[in-house]
Structure 1
Amino acid sequence: MTNILAINAGSSSLKFKLFLHDENKEEAINLVSKGTISEITSESSSFSAKIISSDTKTTKSLQTITHEKAFNHIISYLLETIIKSKDQIKYIVHRVVHGATETQEFILRSDPTTPRALSKLDSLSELAPLHNHVSVLIIKSCLKELPNSTNYAFFDTLFHQSIPPHVYTYALPFEKAKQKRIRKYGFHGISHSYVTKIAANYLGIDWNDDDTKFISLHLGSGASVCAVKGGKSINTTMGLTPLEGLPGATRSGSIDPSAIFHLSSKARKCEESHHSVEKQFHLTEAESILNHDSGFKGLCGLSNFGDITKSIHNATEGNENQERAKLTFNIFVNRIVNYIGSYFVELEGNISALIFTGGIGENSKELRESVTDKVECLGFPKVDKEKNENVEGSFKKGDDVVEISNRTKGKSRVLVVETNEEKEMVNQLIAKI
């Protein structure tokens, strides 16, 4: 039996899942514990975790901590509750947002080649300043605290390396863009890979067959759409950075590039951010506005999509707040369905399923219904209201796929799949060891 620790580092959070794998049975993977440390570097940091078998839960407020201290806290928790020594953790898998054009995972051990590999990962921090440097810090902590474990870094960009040149190339001066590595990379690849495999299994079709086609909607505070054919990404909405494509909680999504210069006279100036991770990279005023002050937050002052839908239906609020919440909701739906239409054409129709996933995709029944109503003209069925309203309950019962439509004609289905990036990394690891 092998303990595998999965780490998912965010700009201000650190999630973990501990899995137990029976090496004699390839598919025998059991989740033992999971938890999150949120609001890292703030005064309101908190830790929450649970042991799956007993449903024992732990919650704790923490003083302002760094990502390294957050990782140490997780290891201390595991030693106190589940494992007897650090050496019991044989493998650690890490979600790393940006891997540029890497075509395989990084393997990192306590050996002389590791500093060079980490330096390569850290060099991509200019492309993903909120994430990559944090991942490097966590990997360094793992190498220090668990020197006998083997670390695997899995990249969100890896799944999208199958995107063809005419899709990933921007219409910019060619040689200069190539020199500076400016192209579409795509993100959420681990999630898109996982949910389309789960959907194919649910439908009883071969994920790798060219007739298997999915449009995957990973909708959360960061959101992206992906067109998947034969188990390969052929297009996705995020680009050089996670900023391109759909709007998010605080990101603008795709806009006219000139808009930012009309919005802010200081857009060209580099200013040191108040965020500790960003201080090293000196984001321009433009990048700060587009990444932190735009999206849902910029439109209506709310960054949580659940709060936006509540505001729409809350009659006690002022009319202006409701109208701006409705505008935000409608903008998000509009951008989503525009990409669905585009990818429907790119995949040449006959879509196996439209997949909703991510925090919003899995939890917003209003959004799912609005989107499917708009794309009915493409052959997607409308949602069954009862099924759509009971998605969360189905997940709580242990289902990882919920079909929210009654399929009466045509091929396409509408599914909600609970994403699990940590399990996808573990699955990929087991396939390699």
Structure 2
Amino acid sequence: MSVVLVINSGSSSLKYSLVDVEREAELAGGLIERIGQQSGTVSHTVRVVARPGETVPAMLDVRHSDERPIADHGEAFDVMLQQFAAHGPDLAGHPPVAVGHRVVHGGARFFEPTPITPLVEINIDELSVLAPLHNPANLAGIRAAKAAFADVPHVAVFDTAFHQTLPPAAYTYAIDAEVARNHRIRRYGFHGTSHKYVSEAAAAFVGRPLDGLRQIVFHLGNGASVTAVDGGRSVETSMGFTPLEGLVMGTRSGDIDAAVVFHLARRGGLGTDQLDALLNKRSGLLGLGGSNDMRDILARRDAGDETASLAYDVYIHRLRAYAGAYIAQLGGVDVISFTAGVGENAAAVRADALATLGFMGVRVDADRNAERGAGTRRISADDSSVEVLVVPTDEELEIARQTLSAI
């Protein structure tokens, strides 16, 4: 049995998934939130998956919820184990052969899934200077998991690793080279596990070799990024030194003239922390349209709300700009895929993002695009020279696969 426990540890949360890699099925998953606060929340979902030859009726996912104080990540792991014991599946009957950990930042050091040793932990900690909101939380989860699962290997899967194939021209910023080198300033890219999973799933769906495809993958969620994938390798991506750069996102500004920061500091009196909060937490769709939820923006735009319409137009304008730039970098494109919450569910976003690419032979079929369904599906017209797909991402499965490959 190839069961892997996947852990995504945040500063005040713990997301987990028990994955049967051989069957590509999640057996159970859960989310523990508000760790360290007065009252935490616990959600555990058990999935019933058909074995080969079996027929299982739909709607068998069973969700269990609870509220209780959870002091730290160590206690969160105890709560997780209690959920498995109380609601299943029984970990004795489905023992994980390894634990895979999502780690946001691997810098330029980690370019593949890596078994976690004391030296790797030191490196993850040292790289916290590049991801102060994420790596310390990831490390807390690793240490708690190693205490709970001491007898199995633990593997770090880095968000940045897929983008280690970026050429120097793509990852280098045009600033003083010595300053950049001393402070490790370069484009790193993020959402790597999603972009890798989607690009490989898209190639399998269209039935063409991955190494012969030029792809653009739009990962559009509350955080959003786009990657140009040439022959299975990331060659350009929108997020940069941090996840702030690139597309308009739920609460992040994406691309902005750096001099705006200087102006707001000098003339607006904003300090470093205030500027950080402005661009990361109070910008994007929220800053422009009053909501970070694309569903709200679309509903208000359709009702004639001008602020929501502007927010949507800016969002689409940025998508088109990146699509055009990446087609130029790739010298054409064979497959364009949309994934994550907005990418998988907002038909209007998909249609409008590609509406100006008719000159490239990109044609979206309106009926296919409007249909909702599970699994990968084609939304391009039969006469489109570019395959346009919706590919539901599965970062937990990708992390589990990479974890097994590392051990």
The answer, yes or no, to whether TM exceeds 0.5 is yes
Matched, 1:408 2:390: no
Offset from partner CA, 1:368-422 (integer Å, 9 cap, x none): 121121322332112x23222223xx11xxx2x1111222142x11100000111
1:365 and 2:372 are equivalent in the alignment: no
Out of 20, 37, 42, the position equivalent to 1:47 is 42
Q: How many angstroms does 1:43 deviate by?
A: 5.9
Question: Is 2:385 the counterpart of 1:385?
Answer: no
In structure 2, relative to structure 1, the CA distance for the partners of 1:70 and 1:64 (3 Å cut) is closer
Aligned length: 393
| Amino acid of the structure 2 residue aligned with 1:348 | G
Paired with 1:199 and 1:311, the residues of 2 have a C-alpha distance of: 33
Stretches of structure 2 lacking an aligned partner (at least 5 in a row): 49-59
Q: Which amino acid in the other structure matches residue 360 of structure 1?
A: V
SS in 2 for 1:250: coil
* Structure 2 counterpart of 1:206, one-letter code: P
- 2:135 paired with 1:132: yes
Q: Does 1:285 align with 2:278?
A: no
Query: Does the Cα contact within 8 Å between 1:215 and 1:225 map onto a contact in 2?
Result: yes
Moved more, 298-307 or 93-102: 298-307
Partner of 2:115: 107
1:341 has 2:342 as partner: no
1:179-229 deviations in whole A, cap 9, x for unaligned? 2110000001110000010000000011123xx010000011111010000
Question: Once the 2 structures are TM-superposed, how far is the Cα of residue 13 of structure 1 from its aligned partner?
Answer: 3.8
C-alpha distance in structure 1 between counterparts of 2:363 and 2:282, whole Å: 36
Q: Which residue of 1 aligns with 2:56?
A: none
**Per-residue CA distance 1:21-63 (angstroms, 9 max, x = gap):** 5xxxxx4443211222345556674332221114222122344
Within 5 Å, give how 1:12-411 maps onto structure 2. 12-21=12-21, 27-40=22-35, 45-53=40-48, 54-63=60-69, 66-80=72-86, 81-85=88-92, 88-101=95-108, 102-108=110-116, 113-114=117-118, 116-209=119-212, 212-265=213-266, 269-270=271-272, 284-314=273-303, 322-349=305-332, 351-382=333-364, 384-391=365-372, 394-395=373-374, 399=375, 401-410=376-385
| Cα distance in 1, alignment partners of residues 15 and 210 from structure 2 | 28
Compute the displacement of 1:14 (Å).
Answer: 2.8
Distance (whole Å) between structure 2 residues aligned to residue 87 and residue 269 of structure 1: 51
Contact 2:73 2:144 in 1 (8 A): no
Q: Give the superposed CA RMSD.
A: 2.2
CA distance, structure 1, for counterparts of residue 13 and residue 301 of structure 2: 29
Give the gaps of 5 or more residues in structure 1: 22-26, 271-283, 316-321
TM-score of the two chains, using structure 1 as the length reference: 0.85
Query: CA contact under 8 A between 1:267 and 1:285: conserved in structure 2?
Result: no
Q: What SS is found at the alignment partner of 1:431? A: helix
Q: Structure 1 389/64 Cα, relative in aligned 2: closer, same or farther at 3 Å?
A: farther
**CA offsets per residue over residues 215-266 of structure 1, 9 Å max, x none?**
0000111110100001000000000000111121111111000112323447
Q: What is the distance in 1 between the residues matched to 2:77 and 2:319? A: 36
2:393 paired residue among 419, 422, 428: 419
How many angstroms apart in 2 are the aligned matches of 1:191 and 1:69? 29
Equivalent residue, structure 2, for 1:319:
none
1:318 equivalent in structure 2: none
CA contact (8 A) 1:79 1:85 kept: no
Q: CA deviation at 1:105?
A: 2.2
- Which secondary structure does the structure 2 equivalent of 1:129 belong to? coil
TM-score, structure 2 as length reference: 0.90
CA distance in 1, matches of 2:282, 2:74: 27
Larger RCO, structure (CA 8 Å, separation 6 or more): 2
Aligned-pair CA distance for 1:346: 0.4
SS at match of 2:97: strand
Q: Is the 8 A contact 2:157 2:403 kept in 1?
A: no
Shift of 1:73: 2.0
Residue identity in the other structure for 2:370: E
